[in-house]
């Protein structure tokens, strides 16, 4: 079944509310949702997934796994049931796999295809078609896959898997959980032991979930970093999974409640895996008032409800070693910085240039147009904050097919003198379909 992403632009005008208050529950974690579908599709038997993120990116993964033989259905109880085909059992898809806007779907599925007797063509939207895939092509080619890509290692590209594929030891040249996961997923159907060496730790959902599904996997600290070793020709056992709420979605409300005076918001069910929680650390360094309520474990991940109240923020130097654990949160951190006293300097975040958009340039342009002073660096941004006053607003922002630019500039508009217009808010549906509905609830409006 072909996945059809949003097609026509949907402009949106955002006005500042008086304050934000109430409780909301953020949707399921995007990274864990993708992996839940992929690993369930490779288990033998039926898995159940509760709390799956039903955004366009994850639906693209579901469609691709169906196209390669898995049976995937959502029940009226909102529980997703997946009948897997077993490791080694993926079928040849009849058509190109449409990845829409989703880099995670593309890179992880390229890994799966690389060690199966499958040839799959990956296509995507204009944003995804501009993103570098060389970082996964290199290790997967070493494992034996034959990959032909568009110039610059870009989509559309075709992966012809090799069976049996060849185990490798691979040291990640970029801190990327997607590259790590692509190699580990290829390793599932590769005889022998595949090792990934990770000099800088990145989100570890793949490791946790592969172990949970019964793969033989070890993680050790070596002289060059974390060494993840996976024994191939794995047999995965079906699981019952509860997906925790997405900290990258909660991030918008953490910043919104911090910067809009009088706000008091409880964000329920937020995943706080330490490889994802860097924004909480950074905001607390800035003076944010974030309390963790009812800490618990959901689906093997630490989770809490976060109560966030308005607070006076101060500019900081963002520790570069936080970058991997908050890589998707920089755009909204820049918004927090716009309302802080003094400058916030974020360096060591060059990966932002190859996300759904060039997020350093996109946020610099969007903030400047709305009255915020910034300085662009090759690897980050300095934002000069105004000490908590309203920013000017009044401009139209190009969201560039990037959900996080759209949502971050929506949060900026919540404390602006004049409304901010997004040229296209439709990308929000890739990761957070209920975002504007929840904003209306917290603003005290009916949606």
Q: Which residues bind ligand S3P (CB under 6 A)?
A: 31, 104, 176-178, 181, 203, 327-328, 351
Decide whether 289 or 351 has the Cβ nearer to ligand S3P: 351
Say which of 204, 328, 402, 424 is annotated catalytic. Answer: 328
Query: What's CA 323's distance to the chain center, in Å?
Result: 14
CB of 327 to ligand S3P, least distance (A): 5
Check whether 355 is labelled as a binding-site residue. Answer: yes
Decide whether 31 or 400 has the Cβ nearer to ligand S3P: 31
Decide whether 325 or 443 has the Cβ nearer to ligand S3P: 325
Active site residue 328: yes
Check whether 208 is labelled as a binding-site residue. Answer: no
> Both tokens of residue 378?
């090759």
Dist CA 105 CA 98 (whole Å): 10
Check whether 131 is labelled as a binding-site residue. Answer: yes
Check whether 176 is labelled as a binding-site residue. Answer: yes
Name which of 91, 240, 108 is nearest 187 in CA terms: 108
**Would strands 217-222 and 21-25 be described as parallel, antiparallel, or unpaired?**
unpaired
What lies within 8 Å, CB to CB, of 105 at 6+ separation is 34, 57, 58, 60, 61, 64, 99
CB of 102 to ligand S3P, least distance (A): 9
Decide whether 176 or 386 has the Cβ nearer to ligand S3P: 176
Check whether 390 is labelled as a binding-site residue. Answer: no
Decide whether 243 or 313 has the Cβ nearer to ligand S3P: 243
CB of 110 to ligand S3P, least distance (A): 13
Decide whether 139 or 393 has the Cβ nearer to ligand S3P: 139
Using CB atoms within 10 Å of the CB of residue 8, give its burial: 0 to 12 exposed, 13 to 18 middle, 19+ buried: exposed
Check whether 180 is labelled as a binding-site residue. Answer: no
CB of 347 to ligand S3P, least distance (A): 17
Decide whether 287 or 300 has the Cβ nearer to ligand S3P: 300
In sign, the C-alpha dihedral spanning 104, 110, 113, 114 is negative
CB of 400 to ligand S3P, least distance (A): 16
CB of 330 to ligand S3P, least distance (A): 10
Query: What's CA 415's distance to the chain center, in Å?
Result: 26
Check whether 31 is labelled as a binding-site residue. Answer: yes
Check whether 359 is labelled as a binding-site residue. Answer: yes
Check whether 239 is labelled as a binding-site residue. Answer: no
CB of 246 to ligand S3P, least distance (A): 10
Active site residues: 328
Show binding-site residues for phosphoenolpyruvate. Answer: 30, 103, 131, 178, 359, 404
Annotated binding site for 3-phosphoshikimate: 30-31, 35, 176, 178, 328, 355
């Amino acid at each position: 079944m072909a996945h059809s992403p949003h097609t026509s632009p949907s402009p949106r005008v955002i006005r500042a509310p008086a304050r934000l208050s109430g409780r909301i529950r953020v949707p399921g974690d995007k990274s864990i949702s993708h992996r839940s579908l992929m690993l369930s599709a490779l288990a033998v038997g039926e898995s159940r997934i509760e709390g799956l993120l039903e955004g366009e990116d994850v639906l693209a993964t579901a469609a691709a796994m169906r196209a390669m033989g898995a049976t995937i259905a959502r029940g009226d109880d909102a529980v997703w049931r997946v009948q897997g085909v077993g490791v080694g059992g993926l079928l040849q898809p009849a058509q190109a796999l449409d990845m829409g806007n989703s880099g995670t779907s593309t890179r992880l599925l390229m890994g799966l295809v690389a060690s199966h007797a499958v040839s799959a063509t990956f296509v995507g939207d204009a944003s995804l078609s501009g993103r570098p895939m060389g970082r996964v092509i290199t290790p997967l080619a070493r494992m034996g896959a034959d990959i032909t890509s568009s110039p610059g290692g870009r989509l559309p590209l075709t992966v012809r898997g090799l069976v049996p594929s060849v185990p490798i030891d691979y040291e990640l040249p970029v801190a990327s959980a997607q590259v790590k996961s692509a190699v580990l997923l290829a390793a599932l159907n590769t005889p022998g032991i595949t090792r990934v060496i990770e000099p800088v730790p990145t989100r570890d959902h793949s490791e946790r979930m592969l172990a949970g599904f019964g793969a033989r996997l070890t993680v050790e600290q070596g002289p060059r970093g974390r060494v993840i070793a996976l024994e191939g020709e794995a047999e995965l056992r079906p699981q019952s999974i509860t997906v925790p709420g997405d900290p990258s979605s909660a991030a918008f409300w953490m910043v919104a409640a911090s910067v809009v005076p009088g706000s008091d918001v409880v964000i329920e069910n937020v995943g706080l895996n330490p490889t994802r929680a860097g924004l909480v650390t950074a905001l607390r360094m800035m003076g944010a008032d974030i309390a963790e309520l009812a800490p618990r474990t959901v689906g093997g991940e630490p989770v809490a409800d976060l109560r966030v109240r308005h607070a006076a923020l101060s500019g900081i130097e963002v520790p570069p070693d936080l970058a991997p654990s908050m890589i998707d949160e920089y755009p909204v951190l820049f918004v927090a910085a716009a309302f802080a006293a003094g400058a916030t300097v974020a360096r060591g975040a060059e990966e932002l240039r190859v996300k759904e958009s060039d997020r350093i340039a996109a946020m610099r342009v969007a903030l400047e147009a709305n009255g915020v002073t910034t300085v662009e660096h090759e690897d980050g941004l300095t934002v000069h904050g105004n000490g908590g006053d309203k920013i000017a607003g009044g401009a139209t922002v190009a969201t560039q097919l990037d959900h996080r630019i759209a949502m971050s500039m929506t949060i900026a508009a919540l404390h602006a003198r004049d409304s901010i217009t997004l040229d296209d808010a439709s990308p929000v549906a890739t990761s957070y379909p209920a975002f504007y509905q929840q904003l209306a609830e917290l603003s005290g409006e009916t949606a």
